[in-house]
């Protein structure tokens, strides 16, 4: 992630400006990019899966995505790219996995997750999103059984490289905005704008992360709760 | 796994050919999982098909699938055998539910589960698998509403008698083997994997990935329920 402090503040200011509009926060939350959501769900693949995750829950969603793709790729011998995985995050802690380093450094993201009892024990407060950066060298030639290799790299960066798509829930953004404010981190509107401005590249805001699970299943996706 | 070496190498070659930069991928270690046994179970004809996924024991929540069987059998009046039920366990603690008494008596299965805060409060360390043995006499003539009867017997043994199939995730077996190595202050994870494989309960099979089995099953029109 290359977001520096300058671009972070510019983006946050742009987002905050939306709230000065008389239409208020609800209008600022949309319009949603329904076309892009449909395009993602319409991605051609042999297998389609959506994973829903209201909590970080020891990165269960990330682990499941890696294991499922790995099983089709290696155990089933299908090679890469046969499984399209969409991860839909719809809780105030889980959505923070899709915020950039600048947000984690300057906001109370860590404190929010800790207050919800939803951080892995090994996570410490630091200047970076602890769920983003790959733990491996992301080498596709790694042994699939190597627990430290690419195929067991349960990070957003590694999974994005493997083709995972990410949905983030507007309702959860609102909830996180309120909870950050309760933690003493600014006002709700500014928090909401900052969250929207701090998304990792490739993340798509959807009206409702849980509704996305229904939309996907109506399009014959399989589903897994994480 | 039933895949033979030739098939495995052919499979690996397919994967290698698809690596983007053209260099051959490293050969994959053959999966512990038996894909063909899994698919045979999932193909078993039934009026209703359901798979439950359980990464944790969660107070034995996956065993409550008994209620679903009972609902079809009695409330819907369909009688027995109309449901093909598969239960996929894919966490290091939940897979311990499918190890035999000898394993629970001699290993640190209890310590592994308690270390993950994933044991019901009533479970104490003992020489037997606390989830396996039937609490009832498994009499199919029991009253479906008898809390001590067969149909409310939330044990692996009783559910197996009622036709449930059990999947164990190969990835979770690997994770558990590493945890046993830590709990025992060392040891080769492969040894622990071999021990687990030799102490599986009857009817339990290892699949390549418990999470993936949920996808495979849904593609075969199974309903999915998460154990919570």
**pLDDT mean by block of 10 residues, chain B; 228 residues:** 35 35 42 91 97 96 95 94 97 98 98 97 95 98 96 97 98 97 95 97 96 98 93
Give the nearest chain A residue to B12 (CA atoms).
Answer: A77
Whether A16 maps to a domain, the answer reads: no
Place of tokens 């394993």: B103
Contacts of B205 (CB under 8 A, 6+ apart): B34, B37, B38, B41, B165, B166, B167, B168
Whether A181 maps to a domain, the answer reads: yes
Phi first, then psi: give them for residue B190, nearest 5 degrees.
Answer: -60, -35
Q: Which residues pair with A165 in a beta bridge?
A: A86
Closest CA to B170 of B139, B200, B132, B138: B200
Contact between B96 and B112 (Cβ < 8 Å): yes
3-class state of residue B50 by DSSP: strand
B105-116 as b/e, with b when 16 or more CB fall inside 10 Å? Answer: eebbbbebbeeb
Whether A119 maps to a domain, the answer reads: yes
Contacts of A97 (CB under 8 A, 6+ apart): A56, A59, A62, A89, A129, A131, A132, A156
- B115 and B26 co-located in one domain: no
Place of tokens 């950050």: A180
- B86 and B106 co-located in one domain: yes
Whether A216 maps to a domain, the answer reads: yes
Place of tokens 């719809």: A90
- B38 and B136 co-located in one domain: yes
In this predicted complex, what is the ipTM?
A: 0.79
pLDDT of amino acid B31: 67
B206 vs B172: CA distance, rounded Å: 10
* CATH number of the domain where residue A108 is located: 3.40.1260.10
Whether A30 maps to a domain, the answer reads: no
Contacts of A76 (CB under 8 A, 6+ apart): B35, B208
pLDDT of amino acid A133: 97
- B48 and B22 co-located in one domain: no
Q: Please identify among residues 69-98 of chain A the ones whose CB lies closer than 8 Å to any CB of chain B.
A: 70-81, 83
Give the number of domains in chain B. Answer: 2
pLDDT of amino acid A5: 44
- B93 and B20 co-located in one domain: no
What is the distance of C-alpha B121 from the center of its chain?
22
- Nearest-5° Cα angle at A107, A102 to A110: 100
- B102 and B131 co-located in one domain: yes
Range of the structural domain that residue B72 is part of: 32-226
> Which two tokens mark B65?
């699938």
Q: Where are the alpha helices (H) located in B143-209, listed in sequence order?
A: 156-161, 170-183, 189-198
- B155 and B200 co-located in one domain: yes
Interface of B with A (CB under 8 A): 10-12, 14-15, 17-21, 23-29, 31, 33, 35, 53, 55, 90, 169-171, 174, 178, 208-212, 214-215, 218-219, 224, 226, 228
A215 vs A48: CA distance, rounded Å: 13
Contacts of A22 (CB under 8 A, 6+ apart): none
Range of the structural domain that residue A86 is part of: 40-225
Contact A71 B212 (CB under 8 A): yes
Give the nearest chain A residue to B213 (CA atoms).
Answer: A68
Mean pLDDT of A93-112: 97
Which has the higher per-residue pLDDT, A30 or B78?
B78
Place of tokens 């994480």: A226
pLDDT of amino acid B32: 83
Contact B18 A81 (CB under 8 A): yes
Q: How far is B136 from chain A (nearest CA, A)?
A: 32
Q: Residue A72 pLDDT more than 60?
A: yes
Q: With an 8 Å Cβ cutoff, is A2 touching chain B? A: no
Rg (CA), chain A: 17
Neighbours of B10 (CB within 10 A): 12
Q: Give the model's confidence band at A31: pLDDT under 50 very low, under 70 low, under 90 confident, else very high.
A: low
- B107 and B144 co-located in one domain: yes
- B78 and B50 co-located in one domain: yes
- B2 and B64 co-located in one domain: no
Contact between B215 and B175 (Cβ < 8 Å): no
Percent of chain A surpassing pLDDT 70: 86
Give the number of domains in chain A. Answer: 1
Mean pLDDT of A75-79: 96
Whether A5 maps to a domain, the answer reads: no
Closest CA to A206 of A89, A59, A49: A89
List, for residues A81-99, the tens digit of each pLDDT value: 999 999 999 999 999 999 9
- B106 and B199 co-located in one domain: yes
Of A28-32, A100-104, A162-166, A219-223, the one with minimum mean pLDDT is A28-32
Contacts of A198 (CB under 8 A, 6+ apart): A3, A8, A11, A12, A99, A100, A102, A103, A107
pLDDT of amino acid A30: 53
Q: Is A25 exposed, middle or buried (0-12, 13-18, 19+ CB in 10 A)?
A: middle
Whether A8 maps to a domain, the answer reads: no
Whether A14 maps to a domain, the answer reads: no
Contact A77 B219 (CB under 8 A): no
Average model confidence (pLDDT) across chain A: 88
Contact A78 B228 (CB under 8 A): no
List, for residues A133-168, the tens digit of each pLDDT value: 999 999 999 999 999 999 999 999 999 999 999 999
- B40 and B99 co-located in one domain: yes
3-class state of residue B100 by DSSP: coil
What is the distance of C-alpha A67 from the center of its chain?
18
Closest CA to A103 of A202, A201, A172, A9: A9
């Amino acid at each position: 992630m290359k977001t520096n402090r300058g671009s972070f503040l510019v983006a946050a200011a742009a987002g905050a400006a939306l709230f000065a509009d008389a239409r208020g926060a609800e209008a600022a939350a949309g319009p949603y990019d329904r076309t892009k959501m449909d395009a993602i769900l319409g991605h051609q693949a042999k297998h389609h899966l959506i994973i829903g995750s209201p909590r970080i829950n020891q990165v269960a969603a990330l682990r499941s995505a890696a294991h499922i793709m790995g099983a089709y790729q290696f155990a089933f011998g299908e090679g890469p790219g046969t499984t399209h995985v969409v991860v839909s995050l719809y809780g105030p802690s889980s959505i923070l996995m899709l915020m950039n380093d600048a947000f984690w450094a300057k906001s109370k993201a860590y404190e929010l997750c800790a207050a919800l009892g939803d951080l892995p024990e090994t996570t410490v407060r630091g200047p970076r999103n602890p769920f983003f950066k790959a733990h491996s060298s992301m080498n596709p030639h790694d042994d699939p059984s190597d627990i430290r290799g690419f195929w067991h790299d349960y990070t957003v960066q590694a999974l994005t490289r493997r083709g995972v798509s990410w949905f983030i829930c507007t309702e959860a953004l609102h909830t996180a905005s309120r909870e950050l404010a309760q933690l003493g981190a600014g006002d709700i509107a500014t928090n909401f704008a900052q969250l929207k401005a701090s998304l990792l590249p490739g993340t798509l805001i959807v009206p409702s992360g849980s509704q996305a699970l229904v939309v996907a299943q109506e399009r014959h996706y399989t589903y897994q709760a994480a | 796994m039933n895949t033979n070496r030739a098939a495995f190498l052919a499979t690996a070659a397919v994967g290698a050919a698809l690596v983007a930069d053209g260099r051959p991928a490293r050969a994959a270690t053959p999966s512990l999982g038996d894909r063909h046994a899994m698919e045979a179970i999932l193909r078993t004809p039934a009026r209703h098909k359901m798979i439950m996924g359980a990464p944790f024991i969660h107070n034995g929540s996956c065993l409550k699938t008994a209620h679903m069987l009972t609902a079809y059998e009695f409330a819907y009046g369909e009688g027995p055998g109309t449901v093909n039920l598969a239960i996929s366990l894919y966490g290091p603690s939940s897979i311990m539910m499918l190890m035999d008494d000898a394993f629970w008596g001699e290993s640190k299965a209890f310590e592994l589960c308690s270390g993950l805060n994933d044991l019901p409060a009533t479970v104490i360390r003992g020489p037997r698998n606390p989830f396996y043995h039937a609490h009832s006499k498994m009499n199919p003539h029991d009253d479906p509403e008898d809390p001590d009867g067969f149909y409310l017997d939330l044990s692996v043994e009783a559910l197996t008698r009622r036709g449930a199939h059990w999947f164990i995730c190969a990835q979770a077996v690997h994770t558990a083997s590493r945890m046993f190595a830590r709990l025992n202050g060392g040891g080769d994870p492969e040894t622990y994997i071999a021990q687990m494989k030799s102490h599986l309960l009857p009817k339990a099979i290892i699949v390549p990935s418990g999470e993936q089995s949920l996808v495979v099953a849904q593609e075969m029109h199974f309903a999915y329920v998460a154990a919570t």
